[in-house]
Chain A
Amino acid sequence: MSISVKNLTFAYGLHEVLHDLTFDIPDGTLVNVLGPNGVGKSTLFRCILGLNRDHQGEVLVNGKDLKRLSIRERAKEVSYIPQSHAPVYDYEVLDVVLMATGSDLKPLTNPGCEQRKRAYAALKHIGIQEFAHRPYMQISGGEQQLVLIARALAQNARTIVMDEPTSALDYGNTVRVLSCVRQLAREGLSIIQSTHNPDHAFLYADKTLVLRDGRVDAYGAPADVITSELISGLYSVDVEVNSLYGDKVRVCVPVHEVEQIQEGNRKEGN
């Protein structure tokens, strides 16, 4: 089991954010976490990454209790892909990837040939090896996100946490990044990611975890979990889930907006 969460409860001071969460993520699974802003997705991820250590309940990653691991050992189990953000200093892409290769280095030593090879291999794996020596700030946002994925790969952890990896990307880059992520899951990595777009779940996720008011609202295959009622209730918008391509894909459509368009057309017709 890649990630196993049991009775996880977490509070910032008196404000309880996560209530008694329990779920398991098998190896090689891509899980998509849905939930409105502020529902505790990022808090859950921080617990899985071992950044929020004073939680109640148990969080096991690859069977290991993160609370008992040092920071270095944690980095060997789980890596993190943040939203791409502008760094203060402009490093070379290869140097950005190299940053994640330190967890198996001896203290006080710098990355050497082996780590550099690993960084190159990760870039190649993602298909962006030609960016290795470009300045990180001069590549596009989508490319930066791919570099961060390569960085997580170079860390050699079997589990990856991604917090809204595509929220700042354009449509093409979103598709590229998500299909890259799905490919990694096919190759055996376990990935848990949050997205705001329920359509992505149908296309890219093996399982969908729905958080509501800090609790697990539903967890299972996207087609079973994501229904018109659930999405409508979750985001307080009237949504209808439609099926396309002989139910290979489903999309969510806000019904109210469709009615508006129809009304507009009718008026124009008059």
Chain B
Amino acid sequence: MLLSQRKICSPCEARSRAAERANAVIAGLAVFAVILVAISLMLGRYPISPDQALAMLVNQVIPLEQTWTDQQQTLFFNVRLPRILMALMVGCGLSVAGAAYQGTFQNPLVSPDILGASQGAAFGAAVAILAGFTAVMVSVSAFCFALLTVFLVLLISSRAKGNHMMIVVLAGVMVSSLFQAGVSYTKLIADPTDELADITYWLMGSLTGAKMDQVAAVFPILLVGCAVMFVLRWRINILTIGDDEASTMGVDARRLRIIVIVVATFLTAACVSVTGMIGWVGLVIPHLCRMLVGADHRKLIPASMLMGAGFLLLVDDISRLATTAEIPIGILTAFVGAPFFLYLITRKKRV
């Protein structure tokens, strides 16, 4: 057409300063996360020096002369490393799910549990704890119920008339409260000496006792989920301007929206089912990232992944080091998240 025939003096390189800055921020977040991992590996009541930590990791591939005690090795591989990996993965997963949900629902105040994934997971976990299942089965049950809840919400909203996105959110809130009532009921009939404590503790969310096999179970879901989000990141931009307008630009908005919602739900369910309820990360991190790198999801998605991973690791470090009795991370993230949320809704809008 007209435009393609015109000679254009390669404006391709002319990237904006904002885009360059965003790339620098993303690189900075990656460096920050790596440094944080290195520090976190050493931190703890059992001191492990940096060279010991490095040597133990290398030792997995190339056998080295042992400069560490067996006790240190057990601690390192069975307690500290899985916990750090889990913090990274859950932070990353919840944040990217939050960013994706906020994009598809065209609402910056949406969090990953908007469609009831968290409440569903809580109900699944509570029922499994009541039934006396093992920890693994509790996670599996939480995961299945989280998926079931969101499926239910989407099914209901597809049958309702009216503003589709509004209906989806309303259905999410309603189904959520249904499962919340379910959780309350399980707490009522739970044995107060052990089951009730287990349920309550699960609801607080914690990374304590993260195991390598849990990490191995969550990792594939997280990897696939993040890969899908990363690939679709530019198309999420188009979703934020509404279905009809997106369609006129050649994007099947309905199909894309369902894909994004399903993938984000899998990510949320996988994270929440192993750690319990960790709120606010999925709401706050995308916001912080938007302030740093702008609204473009091509930058926002990777930035959310990296910052979410770093943030949750940092909060978890605080949670395990600040006091001798660990503070559950779900409480700490809310302590950080709630004031920040209030700041967001009260701050003056930038012109």
**A→B interface (CB under 8 Å):** 46, 49-51, 71-72, 74-76, 78-80, 82, 87-92, 94-95, 99-100, 102-103, 108, 110-111, 113, 116-118, 120-122, 124-125, 132-133, 138, 153-156, 158, 161, 187-189
Contacts and interface: CB of A to CB of B under 8 A. Distances in A.
Given A87-B240, A117-B12, A156-B3, A108 B231 contact: yes
Given A120-B14, A133-B16, A138-B351, A156 B249 contact: no
Interface in B237-271: 237-238, 240-241, 244-245, 247-252
B3 A75 contact: no
Contacts of B162: none
B248 A51 contact: yes
A113 B3 contact: no
Given A102-B250, A133-B17, A110 B3 contact: no
Given A91-B237, A118-B4, A122-B3, 4 more contacts: A71-B251, A76-B250, A113-B12, A121-B3
B63 interface: no
Interface string B290-323: 1000111010000000000000000000000000
Interface in B91-145: 103, 106-108
Query: Size class of B's contact patch?
Result: 35 or more
Contact of A89 (B108, B234, B247, B248): B108
A91 B240 CA distance: 11
B348 interface: no
B11 interface: yes
Contact of B295 (A49, A74, A89): A89
Interface in B311-351: 351
A99 B247 CA distance: 11
A71 B235 contact: no
B8 interface: yes
A138 B294 CA distance: 14
B110 to A, nearest CB: 11
A94 B108 CA distance: 22
B3 A99 contact: no
Given A82-B245, A89-B295, A132 B3 contact: no
B155 interface: no
23 contacts: A71-B250, A75-B251, A80-B245, A88-B108, A88-B240, A90-B294, A92-B18, A92-B19, A102-B235, A102-B249, A103-B249, A110-B234, A116-B12, A117-B8, A117-B12, A118-B4, A120-B14, A125-B2, A125-B3, A132-B14, A132-B16, A133-B18, A156-B1
The 6 closest A-B pairs by CB, nearest first: A75-B250, A103-B250, A89-B295, A133-B16, A80-B248, A120-B11
B298 A89 contact: no
Nearest to B10: A117
A49 B247 CA distance: 9
Nearest to B1: A156
A121 B8 contact: yes
Nearest to B103: A89
B233 interface: yes
A79 B238 CA distance: 15
Interface string B29-58: 000000000000000000000000000000
B248 A95 contact: no
A156 B293 CA distance: 30
Contacts of A49: 247-248
B42 to A, nearest CB: 39
Contacts of A116: 11-12
A72 B250 contact: yes
Contacts of B248: 49, 51, 74-75, 78-80, 161
A155 B249 contact: yes
Given A89-B295, A94-B16, A71 B247 contact: yes
A113 B8 CA distance: 12
Contact of A111 (B2, B3, B16, B234): B234
Given A88-B106, A121-B8, A154 B3 contact: yes
A108 B228 CA distance: 9
B240 A188 contact: no
Contacts of A158: 1
B238 A99 contact: yes
B6 interface: yes
Given A80-B245, A82-B245, A99-B237, A118 B18 contact: no
Contacts of A51: 244, 247-248
Contacts of B238: 99, 102
Given A108-B231, A116-B11, A117-B12, A89 B249 contact: no
Contact of B2 (A71, A80, A187): A187
B250 A91 contact: no
Nearest to B231: A108
Contacts of B250: 71-72, 74-76, 100, 102-103, 155
